[in-house]
Amino acid sequence: MATEGGARSDGSLAGRRPPTPAEPTMGDAEFRMFTALLRRHCGLHFGAESRYLFERRVLRRVRELELTSYAAYHLLLRAGSGREQELARLVDELTINETYFFRERAQLVALVTEILPELRAQRGGRPVSIWSAGCASGEEPYSVVMLAREAGFVPGVDFRVYASDISQRMLRRAREGVYREASFRETEPALRERYFTPVPQGLRVSGDVKQHVDFIHLNLFDGSKLALLGILDVILCRNVIIYFDAPEKRRVIDTFHEKLRPGGYLLLGHSESLINLSDAFELRHLRRDLVYRRPLGPRLGAEPWQAAAEALAGADARELVP
């Protein structure tokens, strides 16, 4: 016979719900293990200031997998049969990719009006290869195609665009090519009308643009996949390396140096520079922006004015934006 509160006269608790298990907490050692694993895997750096959000997003995957502890999830990531797929899922949880069309436009204009003509002349009729590394949802590589077409260049003949990201979720959005209003904060009406079609979900980029971007799932720290890209003429990696710590930044910059042919260009975000990271590139002053170039020949070292010029590059570039 049950008594008040659900207890039986024999002392058992028939009819009462079992207690909800306590939510796991991430200890200091676990935080260090997770962040070290992600740093090795893809270079992402998470400091103490981001710990709360980091823990909540990892917890989301722990719950979805019905695991009982962070330690169990760490073991799955380190040695589980589906570790690569789960690492990709976790990276999707941890990365927030906000971008829009024609972001830092002055640099993109410099690419199509100064860099592209120069490299076309050097390439002897072969198309210039452009890699958008860390392309997120695709606005950057599509912007390059649109601006190059506006400047009179023919995709596939004058240039080719490759785009990569570590997030499968972002790449699905990029390949779909449908964007909401937030992606068009710097897009003038004429370009919206020329290159986009209204759909119920927003605006879809036209097939004439979409077909000229090859999207690739790529980890910047995966040497075997990087080899598939071959040697390139231009690399855009803008607002990406800010998420890496210094050793990982150097690894990525060394990779870019290897992937660029001599005379090729590296375009970073306006808040990024190579100060204290690499002296293998030279700083080029274009009419509308400051960019890096792999020297045509061996470089003996940075010029004395190089560090000071790079320190001012971000501010100077912003002043050049109309």
Give which of 220, 243, 234, 239 is closest to 164, Cα–Cα: 220
Query: How many Å apart are CA 13 and CA 130, to the nearest integer?
Result: 68
CATH number of 17-94: 1.10.155.10
309 band by pLDDT with thresholds 50, 70 and 90:
very low
pLDDT score at 17: 53
pLDDT score at 300: 44
Provide the 10 A C-beta neighbour count for residue 80.
16
Query: How many Å apart are CA 145 and CA 136, to the nearest integer?
Result: 16
Provide the 10 A C-beta neighbour count for residue 142.
28
pLDDT score at 303: 43
Query: Which residue has tokens 């722990």?
Result: 62
- The model scores a pTM over 0.85: no
Q: 91: which residues sit within 8 A by CB, 6+ positions away? A: 38, 41, 42, 44, 166, 167
299 band by pLDDT with thresholds 50, 70 and 90:
low
pLDDT score at 45: 87
Domain limits of the chain? Answer: 17-94, 105-320
pLDDT, tens digit, 9 for 90 and up, residues 242-289: 889 899 999 999 999 999 999 999 999 988 999 999 999 999 999 988
pLDDT score at 302: 43
Fold of 105-320: Rossmann fold (3.40.50)
Q: 17-94 and 105-320: same fold?
A: no
pLDDT, tens digit, 9 for 90 and up, residues 73-118: 999 999 878 888 899 889 888 877 779 999 999 999 999 999 999 9
Provide the 10 A C-beta neighbour count for residue 86.
16
Q: Which residues are catalytic?
A: 57, 165
